[in-house]
Chains A and B, each alone.
Chain A
């Protein structure tokens, strides 16, 4: 059973979102996602200062068996990317909700965050996906 922290928000495409004190959001992929993908070998980070709409592809996580797109959970501007993943992509496997964060955004519309799934809804989603 994978870890689903209660304080985070989630997307159907298995990204998690943490709202920071200053209104920015930190984004990564969930424990469930990293488990399915397997050992990470490379993370293609988004461009800092780039703008993405909710649902737009903005990064790629590549494991030994698949290369999977990461989608922007909300509309906004990328303000930081986790450069440490360049040398240590396995951090995404080891600590997906902590040091395995992928990028940070400033949301254009804080209301969009409210529409994301909460932990309970995400738990239901992954339960229904594994039949």
Chain B
């Protein structure tokens, strides 16, 4: 039963009112060669009862494997209160309300979200979120090109150990704007961007992207990289994991030079803060920056102010830079945010607090260390990079990753992310991650399953 309320009599009356014979007539302007025929390969519609049964059958095929895959999306415990509140009618919508209709409650929540992200990253300003980590990084690059008025080159540096999908998205978005991505190799032993390998005379470069941790889970020497970039007139774009920031030096404090301390733009994937994995989304991107760059920052920004009676209130601010007003010269085509996901993130951060975030990070880190110890005790398995890391590690296997991972999956374990496609130079390598959700028994189970598979 369709949910369209018009019956034949209604439709006839409407067509008569506008002087059309049939609904088909309304499409007269579309040339015949562009018209689509009836969809050939889509089966006929079914009843709600039949579809429900079909979906139940498919859902029953899902198993509950132990998940040790990170690679940009992390399984953390989400307190029940987070989604209990996020799914309340006052919050629960995919819509993005605008200034005229946005409620004070919505704006206050986003303001608090922005405050928490600015504190977590030690930056001056945060926006109300973007779509996801990858597109946030692309927007950060576009922003750096606009904001770095001293640089004329539109060239920027991207380490090869930044998430490969993020790099692809950035390339797609910037390439038609005359912006050139130059790839920097990572160190074969450490898995990091070695500051000693950076050129003494890099020329006119607009920005350096610094991941922390990088895609391999390895920690970068952020102070040295930040100082080098600033010393050569580049802006620093930090791509960070928000959970890691509970333990690591925040990007606003990177660098040893007092005068130039801090990344200029910070971005990343906010999924670890209260968003379930959900087969890949929806997630949200976050972006923060130094005060002096705020007018170049894309996305919505909520500000606090007072009304004419002096009472506190919240508004959307700096809107003159957004697409619906500035059009082709706007900071971005984006004029929306991930309202629902930021609601969940704000609730998650509120419930966890700084101590809870710290414990989550520390526990995840400890679990990954212990997992690596157990797995590397197996003949033929070795950890590749010898530098400190955060909650993820690259392991080399004695057999091709794809077949090992499939065999592990048959034993109820999702063993990690196969790196051989994006990084063939690493050989039979997988990226493993153990968050706070794993127990010692889980780690033992993985180890014994892998031992079986490799035997």
Contacts and interface: CB of A to CB of B under 8 A. Distances in A.
B149 A67 contact: no
B321 interface: yes
A63 B320 contact: yes
B12 interface: no
Interface string A25-53: 00000000000000001101001000000
B387 interface: no
B320 A65 contact: yes
Contacts of B295: 42, 44, 62
Contacts of B149: 47
B324 to A, nearest CB: 11
Interface string B281-297: 00000000000000100
Contact of B329 (A42, A47, A64, A69): A69
Contacts of A66: 320, 325-326
Interface in B319-334: 320-321, 325-326, 329
A71 B295 CA distance: 20
Interface in A63-97: 63-67, 69
A63 to B, nearest CB: 7
Contacts of A41: 320
A15 B359 CA distance: 59
Contacts of A62: 295, 320-321
Contacts of B329: 67, 69
Interface string B210-241: 00000000000000000000000000000000
Contacts of B325: 65-67
B298 to A, nearest CB: 14
Contacts of A69: 329
A50 to B, nearest CB: 9
Contacts of A42: 295
Contacts of A47: 149
Contacts of B321: 62, 67
A41 B295 CA distance: 11
Interface in B325-360: 325-326, 329
Nearest to B321: A67
Q: In the complex, which of the residues B320, B321, B325 has the most CB atoms of chain A within 10 Å of its own CB atom?
A: B320
B153 to A, nearest CB: 16
Interface in B40-62: none
A31 to B, nearest CB: 21
B125 to A, nearest CB: 14
Nearest to B326: A67
A42 B320 CA distance: 11
Given A65-B325, A67-B329, 13 more contacts: A41-B320, A42-B295, A44-B295, A47-B149, A62-B321, A64-B320, A65-B320, A66-B320, A66-B325, A66-B326, A67-B320, A67-B325, A69-B329
Interface of B: 149, 295, 320-321, 325-326, 329
20 contacts: A41-B320, A42-B295, A44-B295, A47-B149, A62-B295, A62-B320, A62-B321, A63-B320, A64-B320, A65-B320, A65-B325, A66-B320, A66-B325, A66-B326, A67-B320, A67-B321, A67-B325, A67-B326, A67-B329, A69-B329
5 A-B pairs with the lowest CB-CB distances in the bound complex, closest first: A67-B320, A62-B320, A67-B326, A66-B320, A67-B321
